[in-house]
Amino acid sequence: MQNIFRRLALFLLLAAFQQFASAQDAAPRDTSRGDAMISRYFAAQTAKLGNASLAAYQSKEAWEKDRATHRERLFEMLGLDPMPEKTPLTPVITGTVEHDDIVVERLHFQSRPGLYVTGNLYRPKQQSGPLPAILYVCGHGRVKKDDISFGNKTHYQHHGAWFARNGYVCLTIDTLQLGEIEGIHHGTHNLGRWWWNSRGYSSAGVEAWNCIRSLDYLQSRSEVDGERIGVTGRSGGGAYSWWIAALDERIKCAVPVAGITSLQNHVVDGCVEGHCDCMYMVNTYRWDYAQVAALVAPRPLLISNTDKDRIFPLDGVVDVYSKARRIYELYGKRDHIGLQITEGPHKDTQELRIHAFHWFNRFLKGEDPLIETAAVKLFEPEQLRVFAQLPKDELNTTIDETFTATAVLPEAADVTVGNCQTAGYCKRLTELCFRGWPDKDEVSVKQQLEKTAFEAEHDGVHLSAFTFSPELNIDLTLFVLRSSKVKPEALKLSVLNVLDEQGWSEFLATVRVGFSKSFENETTAAPDDSAWSSLARLLKANPWGMAYVCPRGIGPTAWDQSARKQTHNRRRFMLLGQTLDGMRVWDIRRALRALRAVDGNERVAIWCQAEREMSGIALYATLFERSTVKRLDLYDLPTSHRDGPTFLNVLRQTDIPLTVAFAAQRTKVVIYDNAPERWAFPVSVIERHEDLKGQVQIRRRP
């Protein structure tokens, strides 16, 4: 049987080469079915999370009971659990500049060794005692001349100047990306760094951490009253205002400007396409954004926005305000939350500033004088520059590689893969990586399979197609082939092939030889008589069934193939506390159950095989369905999630070699790799278990 299976693997490989060129010349795809399906799915998932947001809290006591847990989870979703060590800030003032009655210090400190924060500290020239302080966090305002970045702190300098001229100390800090040392915010937005999701990393976490350390710095200054600190900023700075206000009680008053809106706006209305990663935590616990806002309660909070802001739309801002206001009402502090909406686009308008100044005067000074001075820029960018030469030991540009800790695989001799250990491994992954899976089967597999999509016969081969729904609003098709002479109950083996786009093209080319009418609505692919003959001979010579399935977004359910839409649909999954790859694991889990429910397969041995990007998907599906799959054959399996598949937080928990070992506890895993030493770890783990010897095999690729 192994020789035959190797022949089958060789056939698939040859078919890949034969069909790849013709697939490239295929006619434009009709993706309307996939587009409609994924739109329904996103809308339903978003509504589910939005409707549940804060709805359970009907009393102050109920909210207070859970508030600490929610805050801990926000730390975790920002990559700050465990909290980094608060190492010495080593602040350095590199110079000062003055204007009339204010002094501006050019300074930097290190929020962790090598992670530099550049900023300007604005203060009055004369003061008789400690003053209230404002942490001003900047939005995306690039200021660059002759390839020198002066930092977005210079773009937003007018805010710091106003505060200093009106009796405050204001620390304005650069952000990671647009600071004097230019880091990266856009990892998944346009750089394809999907491993950020796997690592549990977002540039939002760096901004939150820099804000925490900025408060440490402010409290170290004798000019500052450390019990009267507020925060504000707009756009990206509005988002960072939310992070620090929600995380740190030292913020006594907050005015986030144009920095938050609802999941509905981001996911369904498409605002995600206009935002970089610094706007988003890794949404492990599947929050809508009102839950972030609620963590500020009952401290004074003014939510500020314009009415024509395309990336923070009015309805979403009002939704966040309305849900957060209910938590304030539980505290009897409705006067501590405000909503300010002014006319205008996404812009730093004077009207927005005036209301913020009033709010801080009211709650940090206990006064509300007439605002008589405008916020104006007083300095040239060069005057506010901190570094003459950038530090050589900076980690800002590579901080995504180290900011969140990754799991270190144990020694092979310390790993036990018994039933209890494997169950615990799966439980941990479910809680931290696959929390977006449905709580239970939403649609009965057996009921679905009673409705066969179609059946046909050709050249002694029987083809059945079954529609099944791994969850609501997702409809997939399972294709099953067998010899027409073999009754379903006489099958000895069924093999599930998990297809990527290349695999789907190969499958289409093969079955079009005899079943073209059944696939007439699919992308045209030239029939491959040779591939069909090989497959037909295989099936007619053996009591085997060959099944094929494409997870969501592939083949029959492919959605818009443009790079932009592909990218931002993946980001939509992340905002919903999922990943596309993670939900494809769920699809294959349900495909395996569907295959088992097909007539004749109730007791048959089931094998699974996958190539390229689907190999890791099939591995994890098998791990969770380990009583179903007897053997798993994987081609081109990556050795680390750094290269895929992408699951939330998975690199903080484990990596692929350890998963192979646990999957092999019930399923024989055959990996085709011409560098077998790459898989020494799982082989060593399994060979230590007498009853599991041979469960992991490494073979050269055909």
Residues 682 and 664 sit within 8 Å (Cβ to Cβ):
yes
Task: Please give the pLDDT value at position 19.
Answer: 42
* 231-279 pLDDT per residue, tens: 999 999 999 999 999 999 999 999 999 999 999 999 999 999 999 999 9
Instruction: Please state, in angstroms and as integers, the Cα–Cα distance from residue 207 to each residue in 178, 203, 524, following that order.
Output: 12, 7, 49
Task: Please give the pLDDT value at position 517.
Answer: 76
Q: For 251, what's the count of Cα atoms within 13 Å in the CB-facing half-sphere?
A: 31
Structural domains in the chain, sorted by start: 2-30+452-699 (3.40.50.1820), 70-401 (3.40.50.1820)
Task: Please give the pLDDT value at position 450.
Answer: 61
* 137-158 pLDDT per residue, tens: 999 999 999 999 999 999 999 9
Task: Please give the pLDDT value at position 684.
Answer: 97
Q: Which residue from 227, 317, 313, 308 is spatially nearest to 270, judged by alpha carbons?
A: 313
* 455-484 pLDDT per residue, tens: 899 999 999 999 999 999 999 999 999 999
Residues 346 and 311 sit within 8 Å (Cβ to Cβ):
yes
* 536-586 pLDDT per residue, tens: 999 999 999 999 999 999 999 999 999 999 999 999 999 999 999 999 999
> How large is the average pLDDT for residues 592-613?
92
Instruction: Please state, in angstroms and as integers, the Cα–Cα distance from residue 638 to each residue in 192, 212, 260, following that order.
Output: 17, 37, 37
Any idea which residue has 């278990």 for tokens?
689
Rounded to the nearest 5 degrees, what angle is found at the Cα of 615, between the Cα atoms of 612 and 620?
A: 155
44: pLDDT strictly greater than 70: yes
> What is the value of pTM for the model shown?
0.94
End-to-end C-alpha distance for the chain, whole angstroms:
16
Beta bridge partners, 302, equal 338
